Chains A and B, each alone.
Chain A
């Protein structure tokens, strides 16, 4: 079974703090993704990575950065947290193959509250 883990289930930070969200997958997947999920808006893609040290902006990258130094680990960084970044953050991974049935596998999520 694919396992995607995230460093924290719940996190409370203050405005202006630097926040690190870590994601690790154990299936040697090439692709990794960071989403945020808000009521009524669904999952929105922040950043994704298709290989080590490679990253691409998603739909809402502003206020975020990412790091992929090792294949199994993809970090999301909030340089200076703001209250509008309070959300559920979901990490996902996916094989880099072109098989049609390949889906994304999600981590359990981190509920971040910025005060």
Chain B
């Protein structure tokens, strides 16, 4: 079966650091993706991991442990505009299909 879990909601303060976790159990694995989705808008690509370890991209970093079926997205120096939903998605072995988690709604407070 396919199962991806994320916390439903998180709250953090402007300027702080927040970590959004994602655990997955999928029949295949060919990469894990994080997307950002502002309310009423399309998801946009943030980061990609296929090997274990940390990928850093400015204020955003993503970590993957394939043996644990675990990833996290780390957001530093939070800004109000980071208030959005963050979607974790696993790509299947054939590299075409994506299985999405339910998304984590992050609220950044002043």
Q: Which A29-66 residues have C-beta < 8 A from chain B? A: 31, 35, 40-45, 48, 50, 58
Is B43's CB under 8 angstroms from A101's CB? no
Q: Are A104 and B48 in contact (CB under 8 A)?
A: no
What residues of B have a CB within 8 angstroms of the CB of A58 in the complex? 97
CB within 8 Å of B: which A80-115 residues: 90, 94, 96, 98, 100-109
Q: Which A residue's beta carbon lies closest to that of B45?
A: A103
Residues on the A chain within 8 Å of B45, using CB: 103-105
Closest to A100 in B: B50
Instruction: Work out how many contacts link A and B, with CB atoms closer than 8 A.
Output: 51
Cβ 8 A contact of B48, one of A41, A48, A90, A101: A101
Q: Tell me, rounded to whole Å, the shortest Cβ–Cβ distance linking B95 to chain A.
A: 6
Kindly state the separation between the CA atoms of A105 and B98 in the bound complex, as whole angstroms: 12
CA distance A31 to B97 in the complex (A): 10
Q: Which residues of A contact B99 (CB under 8 A)?
A: 45
Chain A residues engaging chain B, CB cutoff 8 angstroms: 4, 31, 35, 40-45, 48, 50, 58, 90, 94, 96, 98, 100-109
Interface residues of B (CB under 8 A from A): 4, 8, 30-31, 33, 40-45, 48, 50, 87, 89, 95-103
Some 8 contacts from A to B, beta carbons below 8 A apart, are A42-B4, A42-B101, A90-B42, A94-B96, A96-B96, A100-B31, A100-B48, A101-B48
